[in-house]
Every structure is written in C-alpha cells, then in structure tokens.
Structure 1
Amino acid sequence: MSSDSRTLFPHARTAQPARTAQPDPRPAPALPRVLSIAGTDPTGGAGTAADLKSITAAGGYGMAAVTAVVAQNTHGVRDIHLPPATVLTAQLEAVSDDVELEAVKTGMLGTAEIIDAVETWLRAHPPRVLVIDPVMVATSGDRLLAGEAEQAMRRLCRLATAITPNLDELAVLTGEAPARTESEALAQAERFAAETGVAVVVKTGHLDTRAITTTWVPAGGGTGHAVRTTRVDTTSTHGTGCSLAAALATRLGAGDDPRTALAWASRWLHEAIQHGAALQVGGGNGPVDHGHLGRRLAAAGSAAPWLGPDAVPARLEAPADLHPAPADGPAPTHGSAPAVAPVGPWTAALWEAGAPLAAAIDDSGFVAALVDGSLPEEQFSVYLAQDAHYLQRYSRALAALAASAPDDEARAFWSASSRTCVETEMELHHSWLAPRPEAATLPVGPVTSAYTDFLLARALGSPHVVGAAAALPCFWLYAQVGAGLPEVPADHPYRDWLLTYRDPDFVEGVRGALVIVERELAVASPEVRADAARDFLLACRHELEFFEQARR
C-alpha cells in the first residue's frame, strides 16, 4: 500500500491479525448476511447488481466483492477489465475480517488465478452455505473460460453446498455431451452429486418445452425436489442464472431446507421474469424485475381505500351513470367479455364498471397459474382451505338473503344456493383436503374474514338488493375463471375445480342471480342502487384479494 493510500484510508492495514474461533455473544442476525463474488453489470441485470437485488428480495443483507468490471448492456458485452487477483483477495479478507457470513454465492470468476484466489479464501473462511453459479458457458454455447480455468472451476465446485449450472455447464463439469432432455440432465447431475457430495440444481429453461423444471439433486445423489413453472414468452431473461443462485443462497443461509429454499427462489424468479418487460430497460435481452414480489406484497398491505368517494355517484338514476372502477397497478392485459352475459341494462352496467377488476383477477398470478395448471399444489391447498371457511360463512349470507327476499322466486333461489355451497362445493374441498391435513386444519385467515364479514353485514343489515349485489361476484367471477380455458385437459391438476365452475348447473345459477339483481335494481331508489353498485365493486375487489392471499 502506498503512503498516499494510507493518507486516504488512515484505518487501512497492510496485514490483518489472524482470526480465532470464538463464540459470538451477539444474537442471531435478523437477516442472513450474504456475500456475492461476481462481475459487474452497469445496466443492473446481472452480476453483483442482480445478486444484491436478489439477496434483498429473498430477505438477506447483501455484500459484494467484484471480480471483473464489465462494460455491457442488454445487447451484449463491450469490454472487460479484470483487476489483479490480489485486489479480489483484499476485498474478501476485508469482509471476512469483520463480518460473519451466513452464505456466499459466486458468479463470474474469469481466470484460473481468480478462481484460485476465491478457493484459497473459502478454505480459510468456509461459509455455512456456498452456492456456486459456475459461469463457464454462455447462453449462445460459447465457452467463457480457458482450459486451466475450467479445471480450477471443477475443483472449486467440490467445495459448494450446491451448484447451479446451465445444461452446457453441467456437461462441461461432468465431461459429457450436453443433455437433450430433462431425464438426461438429471442423470448427469445425479452422477456428479454422487461423486462429489455436492448438490446440483438442474434447470431446464434452455430446453424447448413449455413446462420449466428446476430440480434440487441432493448431495450424494438420490431423489430430487422438483419445482415446476410455465415458460414465459419474453426476452427479459438477462441475469436469471445469477438471480436464482443468489436468492437460493440467501434462503439456505436463512435456514430453509433445500426444498423450501428452491421453491421460494424458483417462484420468485418466475414472477420476476413475468414482469421484467414492463421495466423497459434497454432494447435487447432485458433484466427481470427483482422487486416485483416485494412491491406486490407491499401493495397488499396498503390501507388506502379500494374505492374513492367519487367512484360511484351518490344517486344512480340510469345505468349510464355508472362508470368503470379503477383497478390498482398497471392496466390489465386481458379483455373483459363476460363468460355469462348480463341479462339487462343494470347488470350490463355492473359488469362494465367491474370489468377492470375482473380483468385484474384474470391477470393475477394465482388465477393465471390455476388456469394453466402451473399453480403450486401448496398454494392451491391454502386457497381451498380458506375457501372452505368462506363457503360456510357465505352459505349463511345466502340464507340471510333468502330470509329477506321480496318474493318467493328470490327466496327459493337464495335458499337453494345456500344448500349448494354446503352440499356440492364443499365436497370438492373435502376430497382435496382430506389427504392433506396440514392444509385442512388451517384457521380462517384475515382476508377470508374480511370478505365474509362484509357479505354477512350486507346480507343482514342492508336492503335486499344491496346484499344480492354484494353476493353476485362470487357467482359471476367464478364462472369467468372457470371459462378461462376453451377445454380443460384430462390431465389438468385442477380439472375438478375448473369443471365445477363451468358446469351448466352453476352457469344457470349465475343467470338466476343476475335476473334477481337486474329486477331489483330496476325498481330500487337511486340511492339504494348506488349502494348496491358500490358493494358489488367492493366484492369484486374482495374476490381478487381472496384469490391472491395464497401467494402472500
């Protein structure tokens, strides 16, 4: 270190005292402390930038040691500067001399000298969790490391808790031809894991399949834990390897078991990929949206009213007075044609006003995955457990509507609907939840309570048409979701659920509810009509929250 350097950094030392292993008297940290060892990306999509965002998203405190300064953007790499390995070693020792680490993640290392420096440091300071993203082969298939560096990477990988290679990198590590199928890739990973005692995460994103699988092959080989998602039609996939590895390291560092950690990281990344294009960063292969999950959960906790004071006029004199209610977030991408048509001008106005919310439900992560079959089973189980609680309370609200109905036709309809909730729909819940006691015993959640309390209050304390309008979305919007596929495949995991809500009897029930609401709105006072419209829209929003609660 030069004298100038000491002047600029008066506390810097040329040599650090040896560390001695002593019990740490401090309490366990609130967040896992995770170090990324990787190159840079000035556009933020990959390398240390992506790692730090991923670590934060996964619930950790991120740190970074830079191996390479890379001039790149979404179109490609322009230049690379590799600082001396001594500079990297100084960074690593500066961290380990001061900070206890729960996890380390490595990315681009570049040369045998850099890899050796990282290996030397890791052997001197073995972390509790080490996830290695062995950056060896580009997506294009080009080799990124010289021969001796590849050998050094093979040695380094043997120190890892888990490695996260792409299929070409897995082939280089095993000395075999690149896998062409998932089963070939899993077989390669099992051989590597059995030989090295290092877990392998097998990613099938580069295979030409609609379904994407990420599988944890345990150290020593054996049966893996697979997480399945659906391919997203997007070019915003820059940095996905970095991001997955960093998130995985963080969740493992936080104490998650491999199955839980991989499931969290894979599903978080899938959501980040889905929303990456909306960032509008660059004109090439853009980044993923590392922060989407966090913003979604923050929005779910907002105390802002769902409907402003001007969303519905105080008096509804005519259907044209009712305008579409704004939905939170970006404009939905789906159309809003109803699967069950309105039966008159008032129900047509309700649909038009609620169309943004109906489209937001179609676009929601839960419903989209439910319809395409990629929804994780545990999320569906949480949803059904809450739906069982919901239906018990909803049936009471329908019974209250029957008691206050203005005529025999409405009384008979609501009474029959109340019985159907218990007899037909609850049977679906029992058949799914009975073999899953951990879900079946879930208590009622706050989202479910809020919705059912709202419905019961309207059914018991408001004019009949107001309660009927509040109950209508549970009919109408479920038919909309049930119609999300032109035809339900025989092997669809949620086929029974979808068929329940596209069944002709259920569709006829939706029409029955529409007829009652249309008739009663036509003769209601303008003030009561306004209350009914507002509660219809609030119930639509409750439906969106109800579906999404399983992803929170």
Structure 2
Amino acid sequence: MASSYSFVPRVLSIAGTDPSGGAGTAADTKSITAAGGYAMNVITAVVAQNTVGVRDIHFPPRTSLEAQLTAVSDDVVIDAVKTGMLGSLETIQTVTEWIQTQPPKVLVVDPVMIATSGDRLLDRAAEEAMVAFCQHATVVTPNIDELARLTGQPRADDEATAIGQASQWAADTDVSVVVKTGHLNENRVTNTWVFPNGEMIQIPSQRIQTSSTHGTGCSLSAALATRLGAGYSPTNALAWATEWLHEAIAHGAELRVGNGHGPVDHAHRSRRLQAAGMATPWMAGSDIPARLDFPENLVLNHDQDETQDHARITPAVAPAGPWTQALWEAGQSITHDILQCSFVEQLVDGNLQDHAFAFYLAQDALYLNQYARALAALAAASTDNAAQVFWANSSINILTDEAELHRNWLTSGQEDPAGPVTNAYTDFLLSTVLGSDLAVGAAAVLPCFWLYAQTGASLPTVPSDHPYAAWLETYRGEGFIADTQAALQQVEKEFEAATPQVRSEAARAYLTACRHELEFFSQALRIPTAFKARHPILEAR
C-alpha cells in the first residue's frame, strides 16, 4: 500500500442528526473527511440533542428514508457504508431491505442499541432486528454493553471476556467484530479486530482522562469505514482510526463546546499536519539584530506576562550568565511550542503510542551519531583545554550512555534510514559547527542539552509505572543536568568572547536549532500508518 493513497472513497453515513455537531451524521461527516473520504448522509432521525442529553427525536416517514437511500445510490457509486442510529424497527427493516438489494463493498455497523450510561435506545423488537442486521456487516463496532446484547451474554468486566464473547459471535455469524475496551476500567485500552476464523488484530492505546468523549463510537466507525473503503487492510484501517481518534479525544476539551460531555476534535490532526506543511520562514529577518553588543539587545519582549499567549517558562537548568539568559528569553515562544506539542505532551503524560516512540528512538539514534560528530568537531576547534575536554567527553557520552538507552528500549535494530526531518537537523548542525565561528557552533548544539533537560523535568516526579519513565529519568538525572550546566557555561564564555556580529549569528543558530528540535519531536506523529506497521513494539518496560 502506498504511503499516500490517491483514491478518495465515497462513504455513506446512515444515522441520526446532532445539532451540536458531536455525534451522528455531523460526527460521521467530519470523521469521513478526516480519514480521507467523501462523506454522504442519509438521515434516519432528526435528534434534538447537545452535550448534556437528548431532548427530542423525530423519525421521518419510511417513504422519506427510502427516497434518500435510492436518491444517493441511483446516482453515486458507494465504496463504503457506515450505519449508526437507526432507532426504530421500521427504520432497521427499511435499511435492511436496501442493503439486500445492493450489498455494499464495505458495511461498518455501529449497533447503537445501548448508551454509555446503560440506557437502552431501542425497544426489544428493534433490538432483535438490529442483532439480525449486524449479520450483514463487514465488521460491527459495539460498545461493551452492546456486545453483551449481541451475544446474549452478561456484560463483560474485562478484556479477555469481551474478546471471548466477540470471538464466538464472529465464528457463528461470519462477521468480524471490533472490541473496544474504552468502557472498561484499565488504563491501557485496546481496539481489537476479531475475525471469524479466530485471528485478531490488537491496536493498543492509553486512556485519556477527559469528559470530551461525545460521539467517539460514531467517529471510530465512520473513520474505519472510510479507510476500509479506500482499500486499506483491517490492520492499517483500525490503526489509523484508533490513533486519529486518540488525538481527537486528547484535544477535544480545547474546543470548549458545551457544558456536558464535549465532542472530540475531529480536525486536530488535519490542522496539525497543515501547519507542519507550511513553508513560512522560521524567523523573520528582523527578529535578531545584526549586532549584539549587550544581552538585552537580544530580548525583544521584556514584558512577557500572563496577558500574553502563554506564561513565561522558568528554565529547569538555570542559565550560566546574561548571554544564556538572553537566549532563554528569546526562545520562550519556541520552547513553549515544544513543551506543548502533541508528541511531548503525550510522552510526558504517558499516552504516546508505542510505535511513535519507537520511530522517535530510531531516528534519535541516527541523529545522535551525527550530533556526536558535531560535538567532536567543537572539541577539535576549541583552543581552551577545559572546553576541549568537555566537548570530547560529551561526544563519547552520546555514543555510550544515550545509545545504550536506545538499545535497551527497542526490540531490534531499526533498518530505516534517517528521515528528511532528521537529515535537515543534522545537516544544519554539522554545517554550522564545521563552517562557522566556535560560538555559533556551540550555540547550535546547546538546545539538545537544554531543551531535553526541560522536557525531562516536565513532571515533578516520574511514577514508577510511567511507560516512559526510563526516558524521562535519563534527561532529569544528575549526570545529564551537570552536562547541561557545563554546556551553558561553555556557550556563555563563547558569547562573552565573540564579536557582536558573531553573537548575532550564534543567537540565530540557537533559535534555529530550537525549531529543529520541535520538528524532530513532532515528526513521529506525521508518519503514515503503513510505515508504522513496520516498526517493532517496544520491549516491556
């Protein structure tokens, strides 16, 4: 499968409405679009609802539903169908008849029988019709309560029981099931595709503590239908839908929609990738003066306070003097962007997907080989004995201590080459260190010390069961902090001794390297699903 699929699947959502936009056809349309499809809607029910609850439901007459179904299918080739709320026996029968006359290539059924609260949404006759309707599906995506209703079993209390129920039902009906454990109590949650032959695909994730979960079932099913309709395998389709929804849930609260269970942010991934693809220059020409006679010349915004976009960030490792203090102040905005980027936030929170961390580590191992070369070059260029020793020892430590961290985490060596983001960063470092003044090179390598120490210190303490505790502890450890302090001292000395013009070039190099750090962290969340599947799961931690 190509990493960028050119085919745009035409996906029909058959479901009810939600005027607040979080569920039903509104959520389906957003999900289908985000997943790369063209969305179409057939309305089964006009629902007056919001984030707090449902107020009224109106079912259009059967003739209206039939007219909608035939209107779209008479004119448009449909690559996938996703059904959500059907709501009544008559509606289920109508959709069933339509499905039987022209079976879709892909049919994803979200049963919508029992709400998350446990409230039953269909009467018994309609429930029985829905159970029968599910047997026409390519795959069904019930919640835990709906899975129990499908199978006629008690509600599962754990993942193993739920998978057992799904396995038996799939074998009996020849229909696949996606078991979603988000409604169970485990911190580690999975979406598991269960095939009729007993095979399974498990896509792990981490629970997010949030109330912005309105419409998650609708959204997952619609995204899954779209990826399947585009021709992706069940593995890639479920992985993409799971990870996209994870991000959407994580950022749902930022939308500030409603007073109850808010919606997920269906478009967050699209906006993030759009921003990453912009070719806007990183720094305007006027950001840094041509001469830096004094440290205060570099600090353009002296009055940063709570009224601005973000509060001032206090460095976890204190500057070594006025010049490094000025660098920290000048880099406030980009430092904030790094600490708030999705990769770092998920890493610190422990919600980062394994494959994303594995990709990051593989690229970081390639980066560190070149970073060690840059540090060795600084040692060779230095005339001060203490500076020579520090940069040389730092180069050795990179190739031993940090490289060992990577070897301990990955199950096997990565064979993937350095990506374009990694190459851009290392090319910048080496060209800067080898082709510029010593102060400029020292400033360019500083962010890899200082910003990593800042990231490592993001938590007051690291819980022992944190999935990335070893990584965080490495960069908050005494040894790395001491190295960062020594690097700051070297940069401070170089700035003090440099000419005003060289200081200006060095400040620009520092800020450019900070931006490279942001891109380096973020790249792991910009890889296609097909590439993710090639990456090993990390060793148990």
TM-score (normalised: structure 2): 0.90
Decide which of 475, 484, 487 is 1:510's aligned counterpart.
484
Paired residue secondary structure (2:476):
coil
In 1: Cα distance, 2:13 partner to 2:301 partner: 45
In 2: Cα distance, 1:173 partner to 1:390 partner: 51
**Aligned counterpart, 1:294:** 270
**Aligned counterpart, 1:363:** 340
1:259 matched to 2:235: yes
Deviation at 1:280, TM superposition (A): 2.7
In 2: Cα distance, 1:424 partner to 1:546 partner: 20
Matches for 1:384-395 after TM superposition, within 5 Å: 384-395=361-372
Closer, same or farther in 2 for the Cα pair 1:115/1:334, shift >3 Å?
Answer: farther
In 2: Cα distance, 1:189 partner to 1:359 partner: 45
Letter in 2 for 1:311: D
**Aligned counterpart, 1:472:** 446
In 2: Cα distance, 1:545 partner to 1:275 partner: 20
In 2: Cα distance, 1:202 partner to 1:333 partner: 41
Decide which of 38, 57, 68 is 1:61's aligned counterpart.
38
Matches for 1:127-206 after TM superposition, within 5 Å: 127-206=104-183
- Equivalent pairs, count: 518
**Aligned counterpart, 2:498:** 524
Matches for 1:269-288 after TM superposition, within 5 Å: 269-288=245-264
In 2: Cα distance, 1:143 partner to 1:450 partner: 55
After TM superposition, the structure 1 stretch with the greater mean CA deviation from structure 2, 528-537 or 299-308, is 528-537
Contact 1:37 1:105 in 2 (8 A): yes
Contact 1:332 1:356 in 2 (8 A): no
**Aligned counterpart, 2:509:** 535
Deviation at 1:325, TM superposition (A): 8.2
Contact 2:190 2:202 in 1 (8 A): no
After TM superposition, the structure 1 stretch with the greater mean CA deviation from structure 2, 334-343 or 161-170, is 334-343
In 1: Cα distance, 2:197 partner to 2:244 partner: 27
Deviation at 1:405, TM superposition (A): 1.5
Paired residue secondary structure (2:392):
helix
Contact 1:272 1:293 in 2 (8 A): yes
Contact 1:325 1:537 in 2 (8 A): no
Identify unmatched segments of 5+ residues in structure 1: 1-27
Instruction: Output one character per residue of 1:397-432: Cα deviation in whole Å (capped at 9) or x when no partner.
Output: 212212222411112211222222223322333444
After TM superposition, the structure 1 stretch with the greater mean CA deviation from structure 2, 138-147 or 295-304, is 138-147
1:348 matched to 2:325: yes
Letter in 2 for 1:287: P
Paired residue secondary structure (1:201):
strand
**Aligned counterpart, 1:22:** none
1:457 matched to 2:431: yes
Deviation at 1:240, TM superposition (A): 1.1
Closer, same or farther in 2 for the Cα pair 1:334/1:494, shift >3 Å?
Answer: farther
In 2: Cα distance, 1:322 partner to 1:274 partner: 36
In 1: Cα distance, 2:331 partner to 2:403 partner: 27
In 2: Cα distance, 1:348 partner to 1:451 partner: 24
1:230 matched to 2:207: yes
Deviation at 1:222, TM superposition (A): 4.5
TM-score (normalised: structure 1): 0.88
Paired residue secondary structure (1:68):
strand
Closer, same or farther in 2 for the Cα pair 1:517/1:277, shift >3 Å?
Answer: same
CA RMSD of aligned residues (A): 2.4
1:420 matched to 2:397: yes
Contact 2:208 2:351 in 1 (8 A): no
Closer, same or farther in 2 for the Cα pair 1:344/1:404, shift >3 Å?
Answer: same
**Aligned counterpart, 1:11:** none
**Higher RCO (C-alpha 8 Å, min separation 6):** 2
**Aligned counterpart, 2:91:** 114
Paired residue secondary structure (1:501):
helix
In 2: Cα distance, 1:431 partner to 1:126 partner: 50
Paired residue secondary structure (1:80):
strand
Deviation at 1:298, TM superposition (A): 0.8
1:34 matched to 2:11: yes
Closer, same or farther in 2 for the Cα pair 1:337/1:217, shift >3 Å?
Answer: farther
Contact 2:7 2:230 in 1 (8 A): no
Deviation at 1:489, TM superposition (A): 4.6
Contact 2:92 2:126 in 1 (8 A): yes
